[in-house]
Amino acid sequence: MNRFLLIFFLSVLIQFGLRAQHETNISDVYSTDFESRKGISTENIKVTNDTSIDVLFYHLRIMPAIDSAWIQGHVSVHFMSKVNNLNLYLLDLHQSLQVDSIIGASSFLHTNDSLFIYPSSKIDSGIVTSVEIFYKGYTSLAGGFKGLRYSVHGNNEPVIATLSTPYLAHFWFPCKDGPADKVDSVYVDITIPSRSYNNIPLRATSNGLLKLINETSTHRTFQWKHRYPIVSYYVMMAISNYVVLEEEYCNNDYCFPLEYHVFAEDTVAAKPGVADLPEMMGLFESLFGPYPFRNEKYGMTQLGFYGAIENQTNTVINRMSPDWKMVVVHELAHMWFGCQITCSDWHHGWLNEGFATYSEALWKEHKEGFHAYSAYMASKGWYQEGTVHLKNIDDPFNIFIGIIYNKGAWVLHMLRSTMGDELFFSFLNDYASLPELSFGHVSTERFKNLAEEAYGSDLDYYFDQWVYDEYYPSYLYNFEQSSSQLNIQLFQMQAQLGRRPLFITPIDFLISFSDFSDTIVRVFNNNQNQLFNFTFDKTVVSVQLDPNQWLLHSSSYNPELPMGLPRLNRAESFTFYPNPTYENIMVQIENNLELPCTLTIIDVKGIERTRVQIIQHYQLIDLKGLGKGMFFLKLINKEGAISGSKKLIIK
């Protein structure tokens, strides 16, 4: 690699390293615990995803222990057969839990987290039936971390909560786990002892609305009903001696409650932490359409540990203090993206997390203006390997990783730049309100198709490079002005690191003039080495690439980058420019020539002075060290065939 390319890459690493030291990534709240626990579990977790049934309704009647990780109860599962003569179907239940009996089944087998159920008689397609599963046992935690989690707060006061994403609901109740199937509604009855801690009674909270509290001399049963479609891992339960803070959100058409379950010792900090939530709700309704669960509530429940999970209508969150405000924003946005519209499987998890992270930036823009938005997105820049479209989704601790949050948000940020504000925000509102997706599922391909319909043009290239491929473009650029003509040379050099050679994208340049005025011009970069021409009647003093940070990239202005484009004749396998030169040449290789190949440089005495491996069709070659004089260049392909020589003059 030549000297100025090395300096360029070192400067990029230093730049982004310094940035990383000063930024606060909200996604770290979600991913740090997962990263620290990678490798704890030696087995990937599989769910049955039985496509022969469509689950319609759960009614959980459960009694968790307070002092130990024990649960017992029974769950009614209503489902419709999707095949004729159904004589076996599968649900998910962790093997640490014991099934005592199943009403509505002739027999069952519980093995390896799968529950095989044989109905009393064969079931035809379209027939709705139900079973009631009685179970009990000591619960297990995935990776020692997620499932039905027990902890304490304050003065040894209990906290019990479910952490079920991405497909861990079966660690505490029998269900069809994972994102593929949504029940139409869920009822959750939670029976707990009538105890108080620090003179505050235990409460049990769940999704939807609290319809009734049944009390006996020893126990209280909290009956919650949620009448919206929901995936199993968003069904939740939390128990502690909570204080309930309540307010109401209203717009011109409806009102619904906002409900916060908080520890008594944290109520003072929580009140300012949630003070902006009605404004957040109003912003997101203006951007994404009406709150999806407006007939019930939006709530948050404190855990005192972990990060947060966007359980439908009832987010669980470590704390609600003002320093967690951006997490509050993130989880609220999930009610549209994650709960209402759910990724079809976790390969497409960025459609949940990327949207919620991008919503953080939109909140920043709403409160502090575009520059704050731009700076916030810059803090989310993702310059590491990996694809936004996840490849491995069998490991629950390898799904909620930084790339689907941060680069997922950048996919939307750059799409906004590509489409323009008016079209982008219209599309965003239409997407969030589309009847076919509402309370359903979406894949990356479907999202792409909808974006193309709104944009009116093909976006295959966009999703190929930003969602399905890795990294980002690395630019070198140079400019020169002759009379009134300004030429800007742009070269994508990331192929020299073995990465995708070309990212097709619009790019803005800030042109500054000697009279202290400036202007922004936009170009469409669709070649690895490209020359752009402009006419200005003023003297240009500087050119800045991407001044408003619309593009995930690295770049460096380099006055040594050769200007212009070579002309490759049909009979030629390669050409180069400039010639004569001082220090560098740009080599262009014929497109049909298979790479890599080798360029040899020979002096007038016939001595080979150097050879360079050519790995891309445009490649910048450093000639420092060869000295002045005449040289000859030859290209050797993979089969060893040698092209005709070309003369080079170094001044």
Confidence of residue 588 (pLDDT cuts 50, 70, 90): confident
What tens digit of pLDDT does each residue of 182-208 get?
999 999 999 999 999 999 999 999 999
Record: fold of 574-650: Immunoglobulin-like (2.60.40)
pLDDT value, residue 462: 98
CA atoms of 98 and 102, how far apart (whole Å): 12
Contacts of residue 598, defined as CB under 8 A and 6 or more positions apart, other chains included, come to 611, 612, 613, 614, 635, 636
3-class SS of residue 23: coil
What tens digit of pLDDT does each residue of 531-575 get?
999 999 999 999 999 999 999 999 999 888 888 876 666 667 888
Quick check: 380 pLDDT over 70? Answer: yes
pLDDT value, residue 12: 42
Quick check: 128 pLDDT over 90? Answer: yes
Quick check: 26 pLDDT over 80? Answer: no
Record: fold of 53-241: Immunoglobulin-like (2.60.40)
Of the listed ranges 29-33, 64-68, 365-369, 467-471, the least confidently predicted one is 29-33
Quick check: 613 pLDDT over 60? Answer: yes
pLDDT value, residue 4: 44
Which carries the bigger pLDDT value, residue 595 or residue 358? Answer: 358
* CATH tag, 476-557: 2.60.40
Confidence of residue 7 (pLDDT cuts 50, 70, 90): very low
Quick check: 607 pLDDT over 90? Answer: no
Quick check: 401 pLDDT over 80? Answer: yes
Same fold flag, 53-241 and 476-557:
yes
Angle between helix 421-433 and helix 444-455 axes, rounded to 10 deg: 130
pLDDT value, residue 570: 62
Which carries the bigger pLDDT value, residue 158 or residue 7? Answer: 158
> What average pLDDT does the structure give for the chain?
91
Partner residues linked to 41 by β-bridges: none
AA letter at 615: I
pLDDT value, residue 225: 98
Q: Are 532 and 487 in contact (CB under 8 A)?
A: yes
- CATH for 3-36+343-466, among 1.20.1090.10, 3.30.2320.80, 3.40.50.720, 1.10.390.10? 1.10.390.10
What are the domain boundaries of the chain? 3-36+343-466, 53-241, 476-557, 574-650
Percentage with pLDDT > 90 across the chain:
78
pLDDT value, residue 31: 55
Q: Are 308 and 327 in contact (CB under 8 A)?
A: yes
Quick check: 239 pLDDT over 50? Answer: yes
Quick check: 19 pLDDT over 70? Answer: no
AA letter at 429: N
Which carries the bigger pLDDT value, residue 208 or residue 635? Answer: 208
Contacts of residue 408, defined as CB under 8 A and 6 or more positions apart, other chains included, come to 350, 351, 353, 354, 355, 357, 358, 388
Which carries the bigger pLDDT value, residue 15 or residue 140? Answer: 140
pLDDT value, residue 30: 55
Confidence of residue 346 (pLDDT cuts 50, 70, 90): very high
What tens digit of pLDDT does each residue of 402-435 get?
999 999 999 999 999 999 999 999 999 999 999 9
pLDDT value, residue 651: 86
pLDDT value, residue 8: 43
